Amino acid sequence: MKLVLSFFLAGMVTLSGSAMAVTDTCELKAETPSKFLVLDSNGDEVGYIELRSDDSWKAWVNERGAAIETFWTPEDAMGHVCRNRVID
């Protein structure tokens, strides 16, 4: 829960890294203490990640109707949403 609190207090967190292309940048925006919207570089919501009771993270990508994926870190969950978002 300490990790969630630090994300929540920060308000928005930017994630970019070697797992994503250089142009892929997404941000987290806290919706609740355990659910975070994933925003693309234009500020559009592209999905969300949510902390589960077993300390895993649920990731859901908007527009694709993709199956919900499970990850063990918020960075991996957010990276999944950012990489799999629909790009117009």
Continuous segment of H or E residues that includes residue 54: none
Percent of the chain with pLDDT over 90: 31
For 19-32, how does the pLDDT look when each residue is reduced to its tens digit (9 = 90+)?
A: 434 346 889 999 99
Q: What is the pLDDT of residue 84?
A: 79
pLDDT at position 40: 87
More confident residue, 28 or 6: 28
How many domains, in total, are found in the chain? 1
Containing domain of residue 80, as a range?
A: 2-84
- Identify each DSSP E strand in the chain by its residue range: 12-15, 26-32, 35-39, 45-51, 57-61, 69-71
CA–CA separation, 83 vs 78, rounded Å? 9
Please give the pLDDT value at position 79. 86
